[in-house]
């Protein structure tokens, strides 16, 4: 029973913190929820617009995920909902399949969220969270810059009223330039002034409020309310001046009420097209969420479980899917607000979901006159902080390979799209990593006079003899380096024609896989054919256990030595002893 | 000039051995060539049949490659031409594109050889030979078993006269069982008796000849002539008894003469379809050739250059392409004959090409009555030695992951085809490798009393204090393990609530990439927010040079210590000294 409770608690963290939940915590979480839910409204509407979906879908995608994360999540502060990168990836995945505004488009977005969720849960149960490690930091940072630019270019359409084709950054820019004559000045006036207002609020509001005596925490939170204030002003202005009649695009009628629960269309052909984007959204969303969750948790010395986070994020995506939403992830800005407002448990998120639900139920009519230009400006401001070209230079200076990986990711994302950029970045980083690990360091070693220890001949004064070649390999023997070991051994022997004994020092070898074993076998075979005896020294216990199961061991066992000194002493006892008895670093000429 | 000659010689090894070529070597090579060219005739005809091509194409594909390898190759013994695996892969790649027997089929095979050659040459110039490391030994061995079975199943059609569908092993077997009633007993009689004859010759001929007084070397070579003898008997039998009128399939009229030199069709759509199979043929062909070349070279202490071998194999494939052939590789059995007959230089191969050309010019009429059944039996006998199921068990016992990779490769190749099996095997091995490297070993360390050295607390009696957490990481910091380091650090700190100083011992860290640097930064940030000071100790010189270029260094520099003892002594000098002055392994209680 105890074991069962433990497993249950690991899959349902709510059982853990829920048991200790008090009235005081609840009051605190309620206050946090009020702030957060107000802040989430414009964000949710804007990201729905970015994903090519109607505004209410943004609200829908913000409710179930918050509640489900409260049940399954291990972070106390992470806020899950629509975020920039996954919204853009949703647009990229669904736009080629269905036309925006159709039920097919909405259905495909739901299916995408479902697949994303299922993939995340499978990865979680298989404990495959480590897969996300393979998006290296430079690739993720490069993706951020490129996605930021692509989203920014896309938002110039609602912000300036210039019609443009969708697609990659490159396509968008070409099309924006071509159509720049069609700018609508009413839209541009609203868009640009919203943009400037948001930038100013973000930069100066907190300082200003603090100067008039407000506490730092409250001032910080209020400064994040900029988008809400901008929305309010824009709604009043557009409604009051009747600007919608001048071609200014407004949100219009947002259907009241909560999303109906429904499964996405069951259509294997559709699912087949969406499975690759879903996998990438799952991984990118997970990497981003996990980074945010971990950085907030460490501030309070809390622990985040990577595999449970996969399950939690999977559950939130399935929740988003069946409540007519689209793929979600843990967001940076929304989580920061949550954290800084003082959320003590994930219940704050669940309460915020209730707040959003109330808006969806009763207040959507207030959003009627909200101009798309202001929503676009909100996105524009938040994505510009993702763009960082200087990082390429800094990274290149520290590690050229990493700099190239980052530049490659940016360039390909801008010209060919997110998926191409991401795949190229991951592929290049992996290839470079494998190249590095395929060439382990190998050193010829010799006996340090006065000791029984053996060191690199290039680093220390040591004693060697032409008949014995002692080599240390500084890596476990795995298939990526197995043939390198074979080649290198061949080269070393070819350079030392008088060798009669080759001793491989395995002190740094922690494991040997089947390919490594095979390469040892063929090294032994070849050396034998060349009249050279192959020896091993300092083989670790677990490796010996494995070797003893093989036929190879029968052949080699008399030439496996406990220490390297034992090996040399077994072949040339005179030299080994003489060197050991020498004083200090006096070099002893062999023979 | 000297540098130029050196580079020229590295790309044209013939300049090296050609300069030392004497009349005596030439005589020797000529004798070898006579033996080898006779042996190559049935092999070439049989592999053309396997690839779905007319018999003369097998002869064509054996000439130019032998001559070109003599110019570019670094092995003295490797014999390049049609081999089993690449012939099967050619069939798999071309059969879906064109019907057998059409000029389109032959053209596609030529295009495939051209692409294979170009890919190999590009890999060679980019020095990407290391990529072949990523086909691990179990995957290659599993592929051999599965390909052997698939080829064997395919040869039951010519050997028994049962018509069958092509495709995977599974498809072939189902179709053979279904059509088993259509067996032609004349064909089966020839096929089965050829098969038994070849098996008996292979097993007993050498011993028999030696018993009647023949030398071991000559007996071994004559035993390899089994296929030639079988061909001769079969031709006489079929011709004499007029069996071709009983439905026995014969080779029929083979066009006289040498291949005309021609480029394959220039058709981008066709090339697009062939580029993936060409890449796989290039890699598989290279891995197989290189293994053979290396194992023969080491017997004579010769050196093989992996990147030049790529270029040489590329040149031979381009040669095969423009002489109306199909993809080629270094073959095991043909190279062994070459080696055992005593080939001293690659000129032996070039001379053998002349021998084959003479057959193509003047002797093809002799092949008229050669039954396909005998050619099929030749292939059947040679591929059965590739099948080795026991290897799965042996490999699994030594390393379960490798055993699974092998079983997976076999199973998927048999059911879904060579390319699917190969990709799954490579993918699985890589994923497992990355999983292993993503979790480096980390140990909490403490000071060994009486010394300044620090060891794993689980392995030795050491002194620690709750305020200082000393951790050693036994791996370079790269993106695959960067987040592991971060998580693990977080966990360790959470388990030690009194920690005020965290020292990361970097004695085993050989390099830190941009992701590793980023994880150090965020570890530092998080520890700082938790009120813990982050220290580094024993950072190697080249890493320090890199770190000094970063802003992070400015923040951390006072907490980077030369030795781990220095680090502890800087924090708690009393404890460090007290422990150092203690005698032997006396445990000193902290405080």
- What's the rounded Cα separation, in Å, for the pair B317 and B323? 10
Q: How high is the pLDDT of residue B438?
A: 82
Q: Which of chain A's residues have a Cβ under 8 Å away from the Cβ of B297? A: 490
- What's the rounded Cα separation, in Å, for the pair B258 and A347? 83
The alpha helices in B458-587, defined as continuous H runs, are 479-495, 514-529, 541-547, 551-556, 564-571, 573-581
Q: How high is the pLDDT of residue A74?
A: 87
Q: How high is the pLDDT of residue B381?
A: 85
Q: How high is the pLDDT of residue B585?
A: 46
A251-265, A295-309, B21-35 — which is least confidently predicted?
Answer: A295-309
Query: Do A549 and B397 lie within an 8 Å CB cutoff?
Result: yes
How confident is the prediction for chain A on average, in pLDDT?
86
Q: How high is the pLDDT of residue A258?
A: 84
Given a contact cutoff of 8 angstroms between Cβ atoms, the answer to whether B264 and B115 are in contact is: no
A299: nearest CA partner in chain B? B529
- Asked if the C-beta of B552 comes within 8 angstroms of chain A's C-beta atoms, the answer is no
Q: How close is the nearest chain A Cα to the Cα of B166, in Å? A: 28
Q: Give the β-pairing of A533-537 and A560-561.
A: parallel
Q: Which of chain A's residues have a Cβ under 8 Å away from the Cβ of B295? A: 522, 525-526
For residue A536, give the 3-state DSSP assignment: strand
Q: What is the pLDDT of residues B70-80, one digit of tens each?
A: 999 988 888 89
Q: How high is the pLDDT of residue A590?
A: 43
What is this structure's pTM? 0.72
**Which of A104-118, A456-470, A538-552 has maximum average pLDDT?**
A104-118
| Confidence class for position B212, pLDDT limits 50, 70, 90 | confident
CB interface of A with B, residues 136-155, below 8 Å: 136-138
CB interface of B with A, residues 375-414, below 8 Å: 394-395, 397-399, 401-403, 406
A258-267, B167-176, B316-325, B576-585 — which is least confidently predicted?
Answer: B576-585
Q: What is the pLDDT of residues A17-41, one digit of tens each?
A: 777 787 777 887 887 788 778 778 8
Q: What is the pLDDT of residues A270-287, one digit of tens each?
A: 888 899 889 989 988 998
Rounded mean pLDDT, B279-306: 79
| Confidence class for position A433, pLDDT limits 50, 70, 90 | confident
Task: Using the predicted structure, report yes or no on whether residue A529 has a pLDDT greater than 90.
Answer: no
B479: nearest CA partner in chain A? A136
Task: Using the predicted structure, report yes or no on whether residue B529 has a pLDDT greater than 80.
Answer: yes
* Listed residue (A151, A75, A61) closest to A114, CA to CA: A61
Overall size of chain B counted in residues: 591
- Asked if the C-beta of B482 comes within 8 angstroms of chain A's C-beta atoms, the answer is yes
Render A358-411 in DSSP notation, one character per residue: HIIIIIGGGGTT-BHHHHHHHHHHHHHTT--SHHHHHHHHH-HHHHHHHHHHHH
Rounded mean pLDDT, A492-518: 89
Backbone Cα Rg of chain B: 32
Query: Do B515 and A433 lie within an 8 Å CB cutoff?
Result: no
> For chain A, what percent of residues have pLDDT higher than 70?
97
**H or E stretch including B472?**
strand B468-473
The two tokens of residue A395 are 């990274």
Residue carrying the six token digits 């004959």: B337
The two tokens of residue A344 are 């003590």
Determine the distance from the C-alpha atom of residue A486 to the mean position of all C-alpha atoms in its chain, rounded to a whole number: 37
Query: Do A303 and B491 lie within an 8 Å CB cutoff?
Result: yes
- What's the rounded Cα separation, in Å, for the pair A495 and A499? 9
Q: What is the pLDDT of residues B152-183, one digit of tens each?
A: 898 898 899 998 887 789 999 999 999 999 99
Task: Using the predicted structure, report yes or no on whether residue B242 has a pLDDT greater than 70.
Answer: yes
A218 phi and psi, to 5 degrees? -60, -40
The two tokens of residue A563 are 């220490």
Given a contact cutoff of 8 angstroms between Cβ atoms, the answer to whether A112 and A94 are in contact is: yes
| Confidence class for position A176, pLDDT limits 50, 70, 90 | very high
Strands in A501-505's sheet, in edge-to-edge order, are: A454-456, A442-447, A468-473, A501-505, A533-537, A560-561
Q: What is the pLDDT of residues B336-375, one digit of tens each?
A: 777 777 777 888 888 889 888 888 888 888 888 989 899 8
Query: Do B518 and A137 lie within an 8 Å CB cutoff?
Result: yes
**H or E stretch including A350?**
helix A347-358
A88-102, B4-18, B157-171, B323-337 — which is least confidently predicted?
Answer: B4-18
Render A52-97 in DSSP notation, one character per residue: T--HHHHHHHHHHHHHHHHHH---SS--EE--HHHHHHHHHHHTTT
Q: How high is the pLDDT of residue B569?
A: 92
Query: Do B130 and A397 lie within an 8 Å CB cutoff?
Result: no
A478-492, A577-591, B277-291, B465-479 — which is least confidently predicted?
Answer: A577-591
Q: b or e along B428-450 (b: 16 or more beta carbons within 10 Å of the residue's beta carbon)?
A: bbbebbbbbbbebebbbbbbbbe
Q: How close is the nearest chain B Cα to the Cα of A373, in Å? A: 37
Q: How high is the pLDDT of residue B1?
A: 52
| Confidence class for position B588, pLDDT limits 50, 70, 90 | very low
CB interface of A with B, residues 299-318, below 8 Å: 299, 301-304, 306
> For chain B, what percent of residues have pLDDT higher than 70?
97
Q: How high is the pLDDT of residue A298?
A: 63
For A569, residues 6+ apart whose C-beta sits below 8 A from its C-beta are: A576, A577
Residue carrying the six token digits 């940030």: B525
Q: How high is the pLDDT of residue A421?
A: 86
* Listed residue (B264, B287, B226, B259) closest to B56, CA to CA: B259
Q: How high is the pLDDT of residue B298?
A: 63
Neighbours of A217 (CB within 10 A): 11
Neighbours of A463 (CB within 10 A): 22
Task: Using the predicted structure, report yes or no on whether residue A222 has a pLDDT greater than 80.
Answer: no
A527: nearest CA partner in chain B? B298
The two tokens of residue A345 are 């448990």
Task: Using the predicted structure, report yes or no on whether residue B225 has a pLDDT greater than 60.
Answer: yes
Task: Using the predicted structure, report yes or no on whether residue B566 has a pLDDT greater than 80.
Answer: yes
Query: Do B487 and A306 lie within an 8 Å CB cutoff?
Result: yes
For A51, residues 6+ apart whose C-beta sits below 8 A from its C-beta are: A57, A82, A87, A88, A90, A91, A94, A109, A326
Q: Is A441 left (phi over 0), alpha (psi -120 to 50) or beta?
A: beta
Task: Using the predicted structure, report yes or no on whether residue B576 has a pLDDT greater than 80.
Answer: yes
Beta strands in B299-393 (DSSP E): 329-330
Q: How high is the pLDDT of residue A91?
A: 92
CA B32-B37-B38 angle, to 5 degrees, is 105
Q: How high is the pLDDT of residue A591?
A: 39
B75 phi and psi, to 5 degrees? -90, 140
Q: What is the pLDDT of residues A186-217, one digit of tens each?
A: 999 999 999 999 999 888 888 888 888 888 77
Q: How high is the pLDDT of residue B200?
A: 92
The two tokens of residue A194 are 């919203």
Q: What is the pLDDT of residues B371-398, one digit of tens each?
A: 989 988 988 887 787 788 998 999 999 9
- What's the rounded Cα separation, in Å, for the pair B73 and B241? 46
Q: How high is the pLDDT of residue B439?
A: 84
Given a contact cutoff of 8 angstroms between Cβ atoms, the answer to whether B146 and B410 are in contact is: yes
Query: Do B433 and A479 lie within an 8 Å CB cutoff?
Result: yes
Q: Which of chain B's residues have a Cβ under 8 Å away from the Cβ of A134? A: 434, 479-480
Q: How high is the pLDDT of residue B281?
A: 92
Rounded mean pLDDT, B399-426: 89
Q: How high is the pLDDT of residue A583?
A: 64
**Which of A82-91, A342-351, B37-46, B128-137 has maximum average pLDDT?**
A82-91
Is B536 exposed, middle or buried, given 0-12, 13-18 or 19+ CB atoms closer than 10 A?
Answer: buried
Rounded mean pLDDT, A3-7: 77
Q: Give the β-pairing of B501-505 and B533-537.
A: parallel
A29-33, A177-181, A227-231, A519-523 — which is least confidently predicted?
Answer: A29-33
- What's the rounded Cα separation, in Å, for the pair B159 and B155? 6
Long-range CB pairs of B170-179, under 8 A, 24+ apart, other chains included: B170/B414, B170/B415
Q: What is the pLDDT of residues A383-422, one digit of tens each?
A: 787 788 998 999 999 999 999 999 999 999 999 887 788 8
Task: Using the predicted structure, report yes or no on whether residue A382 has a pLDDT greater than 90.
Answer: no
| Confidence class for position B454, pLDDT limits 50, 70, 90 | confident
> For chain A, what percent of residues have pLDDT higher than 90?
34
Q: How high is the pLDDT of residue B301?
A: 62
Q: Which of chain A's residues have a Cβ under 8 Å away from the Cβ of B398? A: 514, 517, 546, 549-550
Report the residue of A406, A435, A515, A520 to disrupt the B interface, i.e. the one with the largest count of B CBs within 10 Å.
Answer: A515
- Asked if the C-beta of B507 comes within 8 angstroms of chain A's C-beta atoms, the answer is no
Among candidates B481, B483, B494 on the partner chain, residue whose Cβ is nearest the Cβ of A303: B494
A131-140, A565-574, B526-535 — which is least confidently predicted?
Answer: A131-140
Query: Do B514 and A399 lie within an 8 Å CB cutoff?
Result: yes
Rounded mean pLDDT, A160-176: 88
Given a contact cutoff of 8 angstroms between Cβ atoms, the answer to whether A566 and A537 are in contact is: yes
Query: Do B294 and A433 lie within an 8 Å CB cutoff?
Result: no
């Amino acid at each position: 029973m105890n074991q069962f409770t433990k497993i249950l608690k690991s899959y349902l963290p709510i059982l853990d913190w829920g048991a200790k939940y008090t009235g005081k915590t609840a009051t605190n979480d309620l206050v946090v929820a009020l702030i957060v839910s107000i802040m989430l409204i414009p964000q949710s509407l804007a990201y729905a617009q970015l994903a090519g979906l109607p505004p209410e879908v943004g609200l829908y995608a913000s409710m179930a995920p918050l509640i489900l994360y409260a049940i399954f999540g291990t972070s106390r502060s992470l806020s899950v909902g629509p975020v920039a990168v996954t919204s853009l990836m949703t647009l990229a995945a669904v736009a080629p399949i269905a036309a925006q505004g159709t039920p097919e488009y909405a259905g495909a977005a739901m299916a995408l969220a479902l697949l994303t969720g299922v993939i995340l849960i499978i990865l979680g149960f298989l404990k495959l969270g480590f897969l996300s490690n393979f998006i290296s930091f430079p690739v993720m940072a490069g993706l951020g810059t490129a996605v930021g630019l692509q989203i920014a270019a896309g938002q110039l359409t609602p912000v300036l009223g210039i019609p443009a084709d969708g697609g990659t950054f490159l396509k968008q820019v070409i099309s924006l330039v071509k159509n720049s004559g069609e700018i609508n000045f009413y839209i541009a006036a609203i868009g640009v002034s919203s943009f400037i207002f948001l930038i100013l609020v973000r930069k100066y509001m907190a300082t200003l409020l603090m100067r008039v005596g407000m506490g730092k925490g409250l001032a910080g939170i209020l400064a994040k309310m900029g988008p809400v204030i901008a929305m309010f002003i824009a709604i009043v202005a557009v409604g009051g001046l009747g600007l919608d009649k001048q071609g200014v695009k407004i949100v219009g009628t947002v259907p009241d009420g909560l999303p109906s629960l429904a499964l996405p269309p069951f259509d294997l052909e559709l699912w087949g097209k969406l499975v690759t984007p879903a996998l990438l959204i799952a991984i990118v969303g997970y990497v981003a969420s996990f980074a945010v969750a971990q950085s907030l948790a460490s501030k309070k010395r809390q622990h985040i479980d990577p595999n449970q986070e996969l399950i939690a994020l999977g559950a939130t995506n399935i929740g988003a899917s069946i409540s007519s939403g689209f793929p979600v992830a843990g967001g940076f800005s929304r989580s920061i607000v949550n954290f800084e407002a003082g959320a003590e448990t994930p219940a704050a998120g669940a309460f915020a979901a209730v707040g959003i639900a109330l808006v969806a139920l009763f207040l959507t009519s207030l959003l009627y006159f909200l101009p798309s230009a202001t929503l676009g400006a909100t996105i524009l401001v938040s994505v510009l902080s993702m763009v960082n070209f200087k990082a390429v230079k800094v990274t290149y200076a520290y590690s050229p390979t990493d700099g190239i990986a980052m530049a490659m990711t940016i360039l390909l994302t801008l010209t060919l799209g997110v998926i191409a950029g991401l795949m190229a970045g991951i592929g290049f980083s992996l290839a470079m990593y494998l190249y590095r690990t395929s060439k382990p360091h190998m050193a010829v070693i010799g006996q340090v006079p006065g000791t029984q220890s053996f060191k690199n001949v290039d680093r220390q004064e040591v004693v060697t003899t032409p008949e014995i070649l002692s080599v240390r390999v500084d890596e476990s023997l795995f298939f990526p380096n197995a043939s390198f070991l074979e080649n290198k051994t061949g080269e070393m022997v070819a350079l030392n024609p008088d060798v009669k004994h080759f001793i491989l020092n395995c002190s740094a070898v922690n494991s040997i896989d089947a390919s490594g074993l095979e390469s040892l076998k063929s090294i032994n075979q070849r050396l034998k054919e060349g009249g050279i005896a192959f020896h091993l020294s300092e083989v670790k216990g677990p490796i010996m256990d494995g070797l003893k199961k093989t036929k190879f061991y029968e052949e080699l066992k008399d030439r496996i030595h406990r220490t390297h000194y034992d090996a040399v002493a077994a072949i040339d006892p005179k030299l080994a002893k003489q060197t050991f008895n020498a004083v200090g670093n006096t070099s002893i000429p062999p023979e």
